Amino acid sequence: MKGAYVATSLAGVGTVGGASALYFYKEDGSVETLRSKFAGALIKSDETNIWDSKWEALKKGSVSGDNVNIKLALSKKDESDPTAGKDALKRGCLELYDSLFINREDKNFLDFKSYCSKNNKDKGNATTWITQEHSNAAWTTKWTSLKQHTGDIDSELGVIKGKSSESGQDTERQKEIKNWCDKVAVELFESESVRYNNFLTYCKT
């Protein structure tokens, strides 16, 4: 996406000193929001299972940013009825969706990534992810397939494929594939990329 980053002074908006923020302005002059930049990762209101998993993650985690509703949700983690906490989380996430995307280190973005967005596994929406240890036959099948892979391939997966000539290392390669799957599963979904499509191919039955 074409556009430009512009440093904007935050003086007079509750900051101390000469603080500034770096916002991304698209060519049409509009600013980049989390909703526009990560549209494919937004959780729909009726995706109850995903919301439940984010609620469980919040209960075990902490809040980095300043969203009042997400902080409120965390404060209700020990209540016997989770309804109020879950509702507060949803409200907070909806607010974050329409907030400015500043950068990937921004504290509100970190909360968005952890509690308000789909990771690759959420987006894949499969019930057949391979959960067994790397020695399981399911990973043997995936290693066999990877050795024969043609077409676009993620760079990290390509490194594993490149070791196919090493004899007696099949179990180690299966472990590497599993570790790659575990890593990619929890990454924020961003697009139907080569990495994501390889994830669907090699991480589920």
Kindly report, residue by residue over 64-95, the tens digit of the pLDDT: 999 999 999 999 999 999 999 999 999 999 99
| Residue ranges covered by each domain of the chain | 1-32, 38-118, 124-202
3-class DSSP state of 66: coil
Residue whose C-alpha is closest to residue 45's, from 12, 94, 108: 94
Residue at 145: amino acid letter: S
**Mean confidence (pLDDT) of the chain:** 89
Q: Does residue 196 contact residue 118 with C-beta atoms inside 8 Å?
A: no
In the chain, pLDDT over 90 holds for what percent of residues? 81
Average the pLDDT over each of 55-59, 128-132, 148-152 and give the range with the smallest value. Answer: 128-132
| Alpha carbons 91 and 82: distance in angstroms, whole number | 14
pLDDT of residue 128: 87
Q: What is the Cα 46 distance to its own chain's centre? A: 19
In the chain, pLDDT over 70 holds for what percent of residues? 85
Q: 157-168 pLDDT, tens per residue? A: 999 999 999 999
The pTM score is 0.82
pLDDT of residue 31: 83
Residue at 155: amino acid letter: S
